[in-house]
Amino acid sequence: MYVIVDIAGQQFKVEKDNQIFVHRLAGAEGDTVEFNKVMLVEDGDNVTVGKPLVDGASVSVKILSHVRGDKVIIFKKKRRKSYQLQKGHRQDFSKVQIENISLNA
């Protein structure tokens, strides 16, 4: 059984006990968070597609840790103009584990 759920503006295909990285969630490590934006549910041969969401379906996740991604370097240069610009960025992520998928439909 798997579902497609919208977490923090991104869609993820998740199954029970999966661990995924999502954009930083508000909450401390060890907290449980529930998401109700389930768009598709696949249970064996039964596939339920929401219009746009599946009624009564929800996914609960446990926040395992808050981490930062790899550094991305942005470098711009215009030749013969003495122009160089270098910036860096590290995205904040939360590592979560899928605890439960409920279908109260």
The answer to whether 17 and 23 are in contact (CB under 8 A) is no
pLDDT confidence bin for 15, thresholds 50/70/90: very high
Residue 52 scores a pLDDT above 80: yes
What is the average pLDDT across 22-31?
95
CA atoms within 13 A on the CB side of 76: 5
User: Taking the domains of the chain in order of start, what are their residue ranges?
Assistant: 2-103
Q: Report d(CA 34, CA 71) in Å as an integer.
A: 30
